[in-house]
């Protein structure tokens, strides 16, 4: 038995080895009689596929407006989906079987920076990594972003996505929007589509900042920038006995700090992440291993290991592995590299755009190594005769660890926002649940622990109305909807 456990631990550690050439599959696939759209894990929460009648891949505003006008005229439901569909919830699903998917995969990626106004304007096809790198070329920074840089700029604002911290306007990207250009459905007289331009003086901008994709198509978005700065990052593992007190003082003490909590092993990992002068020495980067391409064989071994733990109800081993993974995060820098290629110790200091977000496994999509990509605008009739895009999976390929074409990691993510005034009480409650079944929450440690991130009161109508801690619980999910999860009852109580 013990050799099996060590094999499993070895497999899970190998899970973090990084390589190149990941090839995320396209989320929209079309067959003779229609299309389906998936999220990036290839399985919606309700296990029910999302169907649509057709998909369009406009490259310009004109093409997009034309397709949209046709759909409005026919009273067809429509939803926008980015190149990768990174949202787990079914927001991109038009509903019914006869909707239209508008993909921004091939949409213009034009960008421009206004140096005197310190803003950047980006079209709907722009990826977050491209945006922050482009702003950096002008000595400017978008203060906060998501931790993953593979998202589209329009997708990320639509869902209210965020980093962590209470500095400046807070950690949500939509707080930095100063203007938006949208295509919205309209009357026959107006040609079925109207272009709306909103700026900071329009109250409607606060409705459009976070729209879950239901207010029309965002064509362009403008963000306020900040002069470039550097960040200094350190990771510290501490006992969790004072977490309910620390969680408040930590928010004030660190501009971009977050905490990941491993309740069952009674530890928390504090990310001390602060703004420092752009002149501070350091060429650090953030190359988080979990977002690099990983060999298929290793991803599948790790998944099999996790399935084995679930099947054998082996929470104690999950606890041991969680603790090893936590210690490893501190000892190997968790992807923070002091000089861009190696980790020699904390703090790691580097330019904001190279520290705030990370990615990698999505990038080699453009190499098209094993992917055949469909091109151009697809009309209803041309939508498509063969399965779009997927060629073959080779065993030495390296994928994002969630790639649905293999037996990859698949997980739930539950997020709640708790006001700063209630967060200590919540932590004490979770500790009580933990104490009833001390190993019951170890599964969370296999996914990096419970993540606590700070967000500031928002101006967006669909934003949060006070300062909060956003809490993410990530945990094992079976591909079989009817399989009970190990300690699923404990997770539900959380």
Minimum gap (Å) between residue 231 Cβ and ligand FAD: 15
Binding mask 40-79 for ligand FAD (x = CB under 6 A): x--------------------------------------x
Minimum gap (Å) between residue 276 Cβ and ligand FAD: 22
Q: Under the criterion CB under 6 A, does residue 212 sit at the interface with ligand FAD?
A: yes
Q: Using the minimum distance from each CB to ligand FAD, give the nearer residue, 91 or 473.
A: 91
Q: What are the backbone angles phi and psi of residue 45, rounded to the nearest 5°?
A: -60, -35
Per CB under 6 A, contacts with ligand FAD among 336-365 are none
Q: Under the criterion CB under 6 A, does residue 450 sit at the interface with ligand FAD?
A: no
Among 18, 29, 104, 458, binds ligand FAD (CB under 6 A): 104
Q: Please say whether the beta carbons of 125 and 64 come within 8 A.
A: no
Q: What are the backbone angles phi and psi of residue 298, rounded to the nearest 5°?
A: -75, -40
Q: Please say whether the beta carbons of 398 and 296 come within 8 A.
A: yes
Q: Please say whether the beta carbons of 132 and 142 come within 8 A.
A: yes
Nearest to 450 by CA among 469, 467, 465: 469
Stretch touching ligand FAD by CB under 6 A, among 12-20, 156-164, 315-323, 377-385: 156-164
Stretch touching ligand FAD by CB under 6 A, among 83-91, 272-280, 314-322, 337-345: 83-91
Among 159, 314, 378, 408, binds ligand FAD (CB under 6 A): 159
Q: Please say whether the beta carbons of 472 and 418 come within 8 A.
A: no
Q: Using the minimum distance from each CB to ligand FAD, give the nearer residue, 154 or 352.
A: 154
Q: Using the minimum distance from each CB to ligand FAD, give the nearer residue, 219 or 427.
A: 219
Stretch touching ligand FAD by CB under 6 A, among 8-16, 84-92, 244-252, 387-395: 84-92
Minimum gap (Å) between residue 38 Cβ and ligand FAD: 11
- The token pair at 295 is 């060999």
- The token pair at 99 is 């909707």
Pairing of strands 50-52, 193-199: unpaired
Residue keyed to tokens 């005034």 = 421
Among 11, 81, 225, 275, binds ligand FAD (CB under 6 A): 81
Q: Under the criterion CB under 6 A, does residue 151 sit at the interface with ligand FAD?
A: yes
Q: Under the criterion CB under 6 A, does residue 84 sit at the interface with ligand FAD?
A: yes
Q: How far is CA 465 from CA 156, 215, 386, 472, in A?
A: 19, 21, 47, 19
Q: Please say whether the beta carbons of 15 and 302 come within 8 A.
A: yes
Distant-in-sequence, close-in-space partners of 357: CB < 8 Å, separation ≥ 6: 128, 129, 132, 145, 146, 147, 148, 149, 163, 286
Q: Under the criterion CB under 6 A, does residue 105 sit at the interface with ligand FAD?
A: no
Q: Using the minimum distance from each CB to ligand FAD, give the nearer residue, 8 or 120.
A: 120
Among 85, 119, 289, 487, binds ligand FAD (CB under 6 A): 85
Minimum gap (Å) between residue 275 Cβ and ligand FAD: 19
Helix, strand, or coil here: 101?
strand
Q: How far is CA 251 from CA 6, 68, 98, 486, in A?
A: 38, 44, 47, 33
Q: Under the criterion CB under 6 A, does residue 22 sit at the interface with ligand FAD?
A: no
Q: Under the criterion CB under 6 A, does residue 103 sit at the interface with ligand FAD?
A: no
Q: Under the criterion CB under 6 A, does residue 146 sit at the interface with ligand FAD?
A: yes
Q: Under the criterion CB under 6 A, does residue 156 sit at the interface with ligand FAD?
A: yes
Stretch touching ligand FAD by CB under 6 A, among 49-57, 87-95, 386-394, 430-438: 87-95
Where in 225-363 does DSSP place strands (E)?
A: 226-227, 230-239, 258-262, 267-276, 285-286, 294-295, 336-337, 348-351
Q: Using the minimum distance from each CB to ligand FAD, give the nearer residue, 150 or 440.
A: 150
Q: How far is CA 453 from CA 165, 168, 461, in A?
A: 7, 15, 21
Three-state DSSP string of 45-67:
CCCCCEEECEEECCCCHHHHHHH
Stretch touching ligand FAD by CB under 6 A, among 14-22, 70-78, 211-219, 480-488: 211-219
Q: Under the criterion CB under 6 A, does residue 270 sit at the interface with ligand FAD?
A: no
Q: Under the criterion CB under 6 A, does residue 162 sit at the interface with ligand FAD?
A: yes
> Closest CB to ligand FAD belongs to which residue?
155
Binding mask 110-139 for ligand FAD (x = CB under 6 A): --------------x---------------
Size of the site for ligand FAD (CB under 6 A): 29
Q: Under the criterion CB under 6 A, does residue 91 sit at the interface with ligand FAD?
A: yes
**Sheet containing 54-56: which strands, arranged edge to edge?**
54-56, 100-103, 78-81
The rounded distance, in Å, linking the Cα atoms of 305 and 206 is: 46
Q: Please say whether the beta carbons of 12 and 321 come within 8 A.
A: yes
Q: Under the criterion CB under 6 A, does residue 23 sit at the interface with ligand FAD?
A: no
Positions that interact with ligand FAD (CB under 6 A): 40, 79-82, 84-87, 91-92, 104, 124, 146-148, 151-152, 154-156, 158-159, 161-162, 212-213, 217-218
């Amino acid at each position: 038995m013990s050799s099996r456990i060590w094999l499993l631990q070895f497999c899970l550690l190998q899970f973090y080895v990084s390589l190149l050439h990941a090839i995320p599959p396209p989320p929209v696939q079309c067959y003779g009689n229609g299309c389906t759209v998936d999220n990036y894990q290839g399985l919606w929460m309700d296990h029910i596929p999302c169907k649509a009648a057709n998909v369009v891949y406009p490259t310009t505003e004109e093409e997009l407006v034309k397709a949209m006008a046709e759909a409005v005229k026919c009273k067809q439901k429509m939803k926008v989906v980015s190149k990768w569909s990174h949202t787990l919830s079914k927001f991109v699903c038009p509903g019914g079987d006869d909707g239209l998917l508008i993909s921004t995969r091939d949409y213009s990626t034009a960008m421009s920076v206004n140096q005197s106004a310190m803003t950047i304007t980006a079209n709907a096809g722009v990826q977050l990594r491209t945006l922050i790198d482009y702003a950096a070329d002008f000595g400017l920074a978008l203060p906060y972003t998501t931790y993953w840089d593979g998202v589209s700029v329009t997708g990320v604002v639509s869902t209210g996505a965020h980093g962590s911290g209470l500095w400046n306007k807070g950690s949500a990207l939509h707080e930095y929007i100063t203007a938006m250009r949208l295509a919205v459905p309209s009357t026959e007289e107006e040609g079925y589509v109207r272009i709306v331009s909103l700026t900071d003086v329009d109250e409607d901008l606060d409705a459009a900042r976070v729209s879950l994709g239901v207010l029309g198509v965002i064509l362009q978005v403008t963000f306020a920038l900040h002069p470039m700065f550097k960040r200094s990052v350190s990771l510290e593992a501490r006992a969790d006995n004072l977490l309910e007190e620390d969680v408040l003082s930590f928010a004030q003490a660190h501009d971009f700090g977050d905490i990941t909590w491993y309740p069952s092993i009674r530890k928390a990992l504090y990310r001390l992440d602060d703004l420092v002068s752009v002149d501070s020495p350091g060429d650090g980067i953030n190359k988080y291993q979990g977002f690099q391409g990983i060999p298929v064989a290793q991803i599948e071994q790790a998944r099999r290991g996790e399935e084995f733990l679930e099947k054998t109800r082996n929470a104690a081993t999950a606890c041991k592995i969680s603790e090893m993974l936590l210690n490893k995060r501190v000892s190997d820098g968790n992807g923070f590299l002091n000089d861009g290629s190696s980790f020699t110790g904390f703090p790691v200091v580097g330019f904001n755009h190279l520290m705030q977000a990370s990615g990698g496994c999505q990038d080699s999509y453009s190499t098209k190594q094993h992917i055949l990509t469909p091109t151009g605008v697809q009309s209803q009739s041309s939508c498509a005769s063969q399965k779009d895009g997927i060629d073959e999976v080779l065993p030495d390929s390296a994928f994002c660890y969630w790639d649905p074409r293999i037996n990859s990691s698949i997980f739930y993510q539950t997020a709640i926002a708790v006001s700063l005034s209630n967060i200590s009480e919540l932590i004490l409650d979770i500790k009580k649940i933990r104490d009833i079944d001390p190993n019951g929450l170890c599964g969370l440690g296999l996914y990096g622990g419970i993540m606590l991130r700070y967000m500031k009161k928002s101006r967006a109508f669909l934003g949060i109305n006070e300062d909060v801690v956003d809490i993410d619980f990530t945990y094992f999910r079976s591909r079989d909807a009817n399989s009970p999860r190990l300690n699923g009852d404990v997770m539900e109580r959380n």
